[in-house]
Every structure is written in C-alpha cells, then in structure tokens.
Amino acid sequence: MPFSIPEQELMEPGHTACHGCGATLSMRYVLKALGKDTVISVPAACWAVIPGAMPNRTLDVPMVYTPFAATGAVISGLREAFDIQGKEDFNVVGFAGDGGTADIGLQSLSGAMERGHNVFYFMYDNEGYMNTGVQRSGSTPYGAITTTTPIGKDRNFKKQNKKVVADLMMAQGVPYVATATIAYPEDLIRKVNNAKKINGPKFIQILSPCPVGWYFPPEKSIEVSRLAVQSGIFPLYEFQNGVLKVTKQPRPVSVREYLSMQNRFRSLDEDDIKKIEKYAEERMEYLIGKEKETQSS
Amino acid sequence: MQAMQKKYNAIMTGNEAVAVGAKLARVGFISAYPITPQTTIVEKLAEMVSNREIQARYVEVESEHSALAATFASELAGVRSYTATSSHGLLYMHEMLHWTAGMRLPVVMSVVNRALGPPWNIWTEQTDTMNQKETGWMQVYCESNQEALDTILMGYRIAESNDVMLPIMSMEDAFVLSHTSEPVNIPEQDEVDAFLPSLDLKYRIDNNRPMGYGSYSTPDGPFMELKVDMMESMKNSRQTINRVTSEFRDAFGRDYSGMIEKYAMDDADYALIASGTLASTGKYVVKKMRESGKKVGLIRLRFFRPFPDREIVDATRGLKGVGVLDRSVSFSASGSVVSEVKSALYGNSSIPVTGFVAGLGGRDVRVEDFYKMFDYIEKGKTGKYYIGWKEAQ
Amino acid sequence: MILAPLADRSSRANHTDSWRILKPEIKYDKCIRCMICWKFCPDNAFTVVSGEELESPNPRVAALEAPVIDYDYCKGCGICANECPEKCIEMGIETKMVI
C-alpha cells in the first residue's frame, strides 16, 4: 500500500499530549508537508506544553515559544531576519490555538497578514482554551458547555456563534486561506503544498478535536473530525487568487449525530439543535454563494 | 591611550542622535510603533531605510507589544535589532520585556521618558521606565544628545558581551532631549566598526540544531537557575560596563565614567543624586553654590540597572548628608531611586538621606528648587518632600 | 557560560507507556497494511517495517511494508483500533504495571 501522506516524521514520539489529541496530529501533518527547513513559533497554547518540560523538545525543527499575543509579530520578525540572511527558502510558521488566534492574538495576526510577510499561520482550532482547562473562546461554537459557560441550574451553554477566523482572513484579502481537519490529512497536506506556492501570507484553520474539552472518548477524535465536515458544521474550503472552492462536499450526515457524540452539547434542546442546523445550512449556502460569485468573476 | 575630544560636526535633536546611533551600530532590523515623543526616532530610521542609507528591514507593526515581539524574533534569528518607544507604549511592551531578557537577547531600545496617564501628559517623567526595573533590562539615563547617541554604540557592546547577554534600554527626557537640538559629534563609520564588531549570537536559530527556544520548566527544572543566572549576570555586568566605557573613551575621547558620574564630589560635604537632564540643572546650581563657598556636589546616576550600589557607597563616603531626586511616582515607599540608595547605604553608612519628588508630568524643576533641596539636605531632614508641588486650592 | 532557556533533548527520552490503560494489538493475519493506523496516530507510536518479517496469509500483502506499534510510546488512545477498516486492532487491558 503506498503511503497517502509523506513518510517523513518531524514530530517525535514521547511528547506529553493527552490521549487522542487532535492538535498533535495537526502539527504532525503540517510538518510532513513543510519539511525540515521550517521554523515554528508557538504562543501560550496546548502546543507550548506538548513537547514536554525542559530539556525536552519533540519537533525536529526549531520551535520558538512566545507570549500569548505575539505569534503574528514573532513570525514577521523571523521572516525578515531570515530574508536578510539569505534564507528565503525557510518556512516561517506560526502555530497557535484558537484562543491565541481568534482572541488575544487576533491583532498581531491581522497586522502580520496585512503587512504581507511570506509566512504560514496555522490555527489549530480546538474550540476553546483547552490547555487552561476548557474555557470558552471566541472560536467555541454555539451550544457548547465549557468551564466558563457551565451548565448551571438553567442548562446553560455558550450562546454566541463561533467566530470563524478563516472567514475574517478571507475578508481581509489574505492571498491564501483554507480550512482543514485531521480526518483528512491528504486534503490538509495538499492545501499546505498549494500554500507553499504563494509568496505572501498563508492562513490555514485546522479543526482539531479535543477529547478532554469536547467530552468524547479519545478513540473518536478522527470520527468527530470527519462528522464535523460531513454534517456541514465545519466546511472545508480553499481560497486562493480570489477564488473560493469548497473542497469537501457534506454528506448526508445529520448535525444531530455530530452533536450527540460530544457531551459538551448535552444542554441542547430541540430548538437549540434546529438553530445549529440552520446555522450550518446558512453558512454552507454563504460559502457556495461565494464560490459561484468568485469563480464566475 | 585617550583619544582627543572630537569636535562637534552636527547639530541635532536627541531623537535624531539616537537614530544616527542605530545607523552607525549597523542594526539589521527595526520594528516600532509610533508614540509621542518617540516618533521622530523611527521616522528618521524609516527615512534612512527608504533612502538606502542603512541596510536594515523596517517593520511597521500594529502595536508596541508586536514591535518588541518582532524585534525579539529577529534578534533570536541572529540579526542585530533595535526598537524605540515611550510611556504607555513601554507599558504595553511589559510582557515582551521580560520575554526578551529571559531569552537572553542583547536588544538595544531607546526609551523617551514620558509621564503616564490619566490624565494624558506627553511631557517627561521616569515612572514609565522605573516600572520596568525588574524586567531584566539594563537601564541608562542620558543627560545629553551626545550621550544618547554614544549609549546606543556602548549599549550593543555591553549587551552583546558573552558574560552579560541582557538587553538594554537607553533613556532620553521627553522634549528636553528628544526634541531639543544640541551640537553633537557623529563618529565615523569605520571608527564605530572597529569598536563594535558584528553580532555573533551563539544560540541563534539553526535548523541543523533543532531546539525549543523558551520552552517550559517545572519547579525542579532549570527555572530557578536560569533566573539566578540572569540576576548574577546583571550584577556582574558592571565590570563589562566599566571596561566598555573606558574603551569608548579611548576610541572616541568622550568619558562617561561608567555607572555614575561624580561632579564636584572630591571635598563635598553634601550631595544630590539625580539623573537625566535634571542633573544638568543640578550641576549648574552646584557650581553657583561652590562659588559662594558651599561644599556641595552631585552624583549623576547613569545606570539604574544594574544599580550602582557600591559606587554610591564609595561616592558618598565622608558626606554629611545626601539627597535623592526622584522624577517618578512611587506609592508608600520613599521613591524608586531613593529606596535603592537607602538600601545600598544600609549597614555601610549612617548619613541622613533626604528624598525628593519633583518634575512630575514634565513640570519644570527650577534653579531655586535645587537651592531648596540642598537647603533640606544641609539641615539633615530625612523623609520625602514634594518639590514644586502646588498645594490644592 | 550564559544560561538561556533552550531545550535540545529529543522527547524520545520520555517513554509514555505508563499512560496506557488499554493496549492495542494488531492481528497481522487480518491486516491489509493500509497504514491508516500509522496515519492517524497522534503519538507517532508506529514504526514501519519490512512486511516480510511479519506473517500474512496473503503473499501479496506480505510483500508490503507493515505497521508495528512501539509500546514505549503508545498511550493507548484507541484511534488506530477505531479507524482500522479491517477491525484487526484489538484493544485489551494493559496488564503491565509501571511504578
């Protein structure tokens, strides 16, 4: 059987990620696509502890730890410094969680993208502050229970829709924007390879299920990731040269099935589920509309 | 062998002088965010980059936090890097100040000392930098535009010394230096190149040597050892500071005498400790008082980090009283500088120490205010006195 | 010598076998060597070996490279068993006690 993704491993075993960690697979795939001439910058995040405590490292490429809000600025500085030294072929990569991207890091991300540095920014989206114990982020979806949107006496949950950073990046005019998830590593790697061809900022949002924070058994990480796409909850798309393409069509899998796999959605009643179904439909319609609009122009 | 005092060959503001200093230091990377009164530094550098007078990348970031984050990153990649800020901008950098020093990166930054709001106030005061005293950055307070230029050159030499490897911030008083023209000697590039070799960061990012840069440590990991090493390197940096300052004197003929400058101290009975441009007014008053037979002197604090404790103990030996002028806000405690002075003297001296707070929000500290301060010192008053403060109506 | 916070030892030094409560086992007689288990392992706990070392009833399959679980690193999350299209990875109880 030929390997469907590159054999090269730049993430070593022995790291301290939780059982079934989606964020860890995201890193493994991204490095397979990027190769050895890569520098990764990681802010406060699960990925700041996954390599383990000093003196351990788990990546076979340099990894620069930074404060929470700094990823966009740090990759800007690294890129320019490498260019000065004639290392234009080095991949400079930001690899941040959704809190570090959608919330505290949004300003420096937006600045870096606007300035147009030749960098990659990967947002591994586990839909909450998982490293600090499952708090709500801007990227947490409507309906999720977190430790800061606890169930309480009124069957509470997060009442606001997910802030989709990839959509923001598209609106900002970032030359390459894509969404991906760990159930489809071939698709993710293909997108990274497409992104490589662009001399400018690249943004890829990778849905990275978190068994601990989404309350599902660790063996289900890939399954949950797959259902997120098949149910239309997390559409996979690619936006380059001003053209949007939906890269995986949803299959007839119900939103309800996706939600019921995860205990974080246990507060939801029928009306709430319908609301989420409607949200997924509308988002898909928006993307398909945008696909038609951009492909025809 | 001391070089001859060089002739002035330019007239420029403090901000222009530090921009010229950064150019002469051959910085390869500049990142900054505008804030009054720092703006003319970075405008000048942007212009130099644009005119290709300087081979550097200039990154116009969207905040001061990002300015220092980008500077941190390029320095870690092995490129000599520079930034400048002031006041609230410096506060916004606070987290990155710790991060840059903790990563042992020899960045040099210019800070134009400016007050903190509310109410908004763009004039000079040192509370912004006094707030950063525990970040692991060395601090130099300049008195003239020439010193501001020269401190950039000495700063990189000191910061990049293998036994120091800590960042350095060099201060100018807002407007009094930053926007005021003075005659300056601009050194020749080849002289600077001979004094300041290019950066060779031993642990710069290298793909053949993958590492975690920063990483994390458990309580039993090397965390405490790393912090102790920083504290010891800071403390021991005085040898490097003295050596580099002497080498600078030998090369350029300008003597900044190390951690502190002593003015009319040889036979003084009373002295005032001051920093920045307030020291200039203080020196004028000392001269006048000397003319009328008063044995007074002035100690100008150049470095606040590392704190010149031994130097102050030595310089105040035999005095009958000493005053300390703080141009910053400190609550409950006597004052940022006076507390450190008292701490240095404790157990080494029993002379009375008078604390003064003056010049907040850029308020003028006048010649008569200095006479008043010397009067308090001579009377042996201890405690804390607000000078030039108008009692509420 | 200046102490900077650098981490340069490979995490391979850190065995994570004690994390395991469930232990996957590949039944090679049913394995078609599709490498899906390898592909989806978050702990990078598979090595790839020449298939000839392992038995397979089908000689064409036996010629393919095969996945082998590295029990020094497997945490027992069970993704491999869940994703295996042939259902040839069994999750058993880990009986080895690591103290």
Q: Note the pLDDT tens digit of each residue in C59-74.
A: 888 888 999 999 999 9
Does residue B69 contact residue B85 with C-beta atoms inside 8 Å? no
Output the six-digit token pair for A47.
């990925």
User: Do B305 and B247 have their domain in common?
Assistant: no
pLDDT digits (tens, 9 = 90+) for A143-172: 999 999 999 999 999 999 999 999 999 999
Domain closes at, from B224, B252, B280: B252
Task: Note the Cα A192 to chain centre separation in Å.
Answer: 13
Residue range(s) defining the domain that contains residue C88: 26-93
Chain-chain contact of B211 with C2 (C-beta, under 8 angstroms)? no
Chain-chain contact of B69 with A53 (C-beta, under 8 angstroms)? no
pLDDT score of B333? 77
Any domain includes B392: no
User: Do B210 and B267 have their domain in common?
Assistant: no
pLDDT averaged per 10 residues, chain B (length 393): 76 98 98 98 97 97 98 98 98 98 98 98 98 98 98 98 97 98 98 98 93 96 96 97 98 96 98 98 98 98 98 98 97 91 96 97 98 97 93 68
Integer-rounded Cα radius of gyration of chain B: 21
The rounded percent of chain A whose pLDDT value lies above 90 is 96
pLDDT score of A215? 98
pTM over 0.90: yes
Any domain includes B60: yes
For helices A165-172 and A106-115, angle between their N-to-C axes, nearest 10 degrees: 30
User: Do B278 and B371 have their domain in common?
Assistant: yes
Return d(Cα B101, Cα B92) in angstroms, integer.
16
Chain-chain contact of B104 with C6 (C-beta, under 8 angstroms)? no
pLDDT digits (tens, 9 = 90+) for A25-52: 999 999 999 999 999 999 999 999 999 9
- Average pLDDT along chain A: 97
pLDDT score of B242? 98
The beta-strand segments (E) located in chain C are 6-7, 9-10, 22-26, 46-49, 66-69, 89-93
C5 closest CB neighbour out of B103, B162, B163: B103
Chain-chain contact of C8 with B211 (C-beta, under 8 angstroms)? yes
Omega of the bond prior to C67 within 30 degrees of 0, cis?
Answer: no
Chain-chain contact of B66 with A67 (C-beta, under 8 angstroms)? no
What stretch of H or E contains B19?
Answer: helix B14-24
CB pairs under 8 A between B and C: 37
Phi-psi region of A82 (alpha: psi -120 to 50; beta: other; left: phi over 0): alpha
Residue A132 touches chain B, beta carbons under 8 Å:
no
Residue C98 touches chain B, beta carbons under 8 Å:
no
Residue C4 touches chain B, beta carbons under 8 Å:
yes
Domain closes at, from B252, B275, B300: B252
Any domain includes C76: yes
Interface test with B, best of A74, A87, A90 (most B CBs within 10 A): A74
Domains and CATH numbers, chain A: 22-296 (3.40.50.970)
pLDDT score of B2? 54
Residue C2 touches chain B, beta carbons under 8 Å:
yes
Half-sphere exposure of B5 (CA within 13 A, CB side): 5
Taking residue A6's Cβ as centre, other Cβ atoms within 10 Å add up to 15
Return d(Cα B242, Cα B256) in angstroms, integer.
9
Taking the CA of residue A214 and the nearest CA in chain B, the distance in Å comes to 26
Return d(Cα B363, Cα A176) in angstroms, integer.
53
Return d(Cα A71, Cα A93) in angstroms, integer.
9
pLDDT score of C98? 60
Domains identified in chain B, total number: 2
Domain closes at, from B252, B273, B294: B252
For B122, the 3-state DSSP assignment is coil
Taking the CA of residue C48 and the nearest CA in chain A, the distance in Å comes to 9
Give the neighbours of chain B: at least 3 Cβ pairs within 8 Å. A, C
Strands of A176-181's sheet, edge to edge? A243-248, A236-240, A176-181, A202-207, A120-125, A91-97, A38-42, A63-65, B212-213, C6-7
Q: Quick one: closest CA in A to B63, which residue?
A: A108
Confidence of residue A297 (pLDDT cuts 50, 70, 90): confident
Q: Which CATH number characterizes residue B284's domain? A: 3.40.50.920
Contacts for A129 with CB less than 8 Å, ≥ 6 apart: A97, A99, A135, A136, A137
- List, in sequence order, every residue forming a beta bridge with B387; answer none if it has no partner: B358
Integer-rounded Cα radius of gyration of chain A: 18
Does the pLDDT value for residue A219 go beyond 70?
yes
Return d(Cα A251, Cα A244) in angstroms, integer.
20
Contacts of C81 in chain A (CB under 8 A): 219
Confidence of residue C57 (pLDDT cuts 50, 70, 90): confident
Q: Quick one: closest CA in C to A226, which residue?
A: C83
Chain-chain contact of B62 with A77 (C-beta, under 8 angstroms)? no
The beta-strand segments (E) located in B47-176 are 57-60, 81-86, 108-113, 138-141, 168-173
Any domain includes B5: no
Domains identified in chain C, total number: 1
Confidence of residue A189 (pLDDT cuts 50, 70, 90): very high
Q: Quick one: closest CA in B to A48, which residue?
A: B215
Taking the CA of residue A56 and the nearest CA in chain B, the distance in Å comes to 8
pLDDT score of B392? 67
DSSP 8-state class, residue A43:
-
CB contacts under 8 A, A 82-141 vs C, are none
Interface test with C, best of B160, B204, B215 (most C CBs within 10 A): B215
Residue A9 touches chain B, beta carbons under 8 Å:
no
Taking the CA of residue B208 and the nearest CA in chain C, the distance in Å comes to 12
A57 closest CB neighbour out of C11, C39, C91: C11
Mean pLDDT of A93-104: 98
What stretch of H or E contains B80?
Answer: none
Q: Regarding beta strands A202-207 and A176-181, do their DSSP bridges make them parallel or antiparallel, or are they unpaired?
A: parallel
A69 closest CB neighbour out of B65, B209, B216: B65
Any domain includes C13: no
Any domain includes B104: yes
- List, in sequence order, every residue forming a beta bridge with C25; answer none if it has no partner: C90
Q: Give the number of residues written for chain A.
A: 297
Does residue B301 contact residue B260 with C-beta atoms inside 8 Å? yes
Contacts for B361 with CB less than 8 Å, ≥ 6 apart: B115, B121, B123, B125
Residue A41 touches chain B, beta carbons under 8 Å:
yes
A78 closest CB neighbour out of B60, B62, B77: B77
Residue-wise DSSP of B341-362: HHHHHTTT----EEEEEE-GGG
Chain-chain contact of C82 with A56 (C-beta, under 8 angstroms)? no
pLDDT score of B3? 62
Return d(Cα A219, Cα A150) in angstroms, integer.
25
Strands of B270-274's sheet, edge to edge? B260-263, B296-301, B270-274, B321-326, B353-358, B383-387
Any domain includes B90: yes
User: Do B113 and B178 have their domain in common?
Assistant: yes
Does residue C21 contact residue A67 with C-beta atoms inside 8 Å? no
Return d(Cα A205, Cα A237) in angstroms, integer.
10
Q: Regarding beta strands B353-358 and B383-387, do their DSSP bridges make them parallel or antiparallel, or are they unpaired?
A: parallel
Does the pLDDT value for residue C99 go beyond 70?
no
User: Do B142 and B176 have their domain in common?
Assistant: yes
For A189, the 3-state DSSP assignment is helix
Chain-chain contact of B226 with C8 (C-beta, under 8 angstroms)? no
Distances (CA, A) of A201 to A74, A111, A122, A235, A253: 14, 11, 11, 22, 34
Taking the CA of residue A57 and the nearest CA in chain B, the distance in Å comes to 6
pLDDT digits (tens, 9 = 90+) for A57-95: 999 999 999 999 999 999 999 999 999 999 999 999 999
Any domain includes C6: no
Contacts of C40 in chain A (CB under 8 A): 25, 182, 185, 222
Chain-chain contact of B210 with C8 (C-beta, under 8 angstroms)? yes
Chain-chain contact of C7 with B211 (C-beta, under 8 angstroms)? yes
Q: Quick one: closest CA in A to C17, which residue?
A: A14
Taking the CA of residue C57 and the nearest CA in chain B, the distance in Å comes to 43
B213 closest CB neighbour out of C2, C3, C6: C6
For B296, the 3-state DSSP assignment is strand
C9 closest CB neighbour out of A55, A217, A219: A55
For A110, the 3-state DSSP assignment is helix
Q: Which residues of C5-25 are buried (b: 16+ CB within 10 A; e: fewer)?
A: bbbeebbbebebbebbebbbe
Residue-wise DSSP of B85-117: EEHHHHHHTHHHHHHHHHTT---EEEEEE----
User: Do B359 and B336 have their domain in common?
Assistant: yes
Output the six-digit token pair for B257.
């005498």
Return d(Cα A118, Cα A110) in angstroms, integer.
14
Q: Which CATH number characterizes residue C67's domain? A: 3.30.70.20
pLDDT score of C17? 95
Residue B249 touches chain A, beta carbons under 8 Å:
no
Return d(Cα A140, Cα A183) in angstroms, integer.
20
Q: Quick one: closest CA in A to B97, which residue?
A: A67
Q: Name the residue among B226, B272, B263 with its Cα closest to residue B372.
A: B272
Any domain includes C18: no
Residue range(s) defining the domain that contains residue B283: 260-387
Q: Which residues of A194-228 are buried (b: 16+ CB within 10 A; e: fewer)?
A: bbeeeeebbbbbbbbbbbbbbbbbbbbbbbbbbbb
User: Do B246 and B371 have their domain in common?
Assistant: no
Chain-chain contact of A19 with C19 (C-beta, under 8 angstroms)? yes
Amino acid (1-letter code) at residue B249: R
Q: Which CATH number characterizes residue B176's domain? A: 3.40.50.970
Residue B214 touches chain C, beta carbons under 8 Å:
yes
pLDDT score of A32? 98
Taking the CA of residue B341 and the nearest CA in chain A, the distance in Å comes to 34
Taking the CA of residue C63 and the nearest CA in chain A, the distance in Å comes to 10
Give the neighbours of chain C: at least 3 Cβ pairs within 8 Å. A, B
Residue C3 touches chain B, beta carbons under 8 Å:
yes
Contacts for B228 with CB less than 8 Å, ≥ 6 apart: none
pLDDT score of B87? 98
pLDDT score of C1? 61
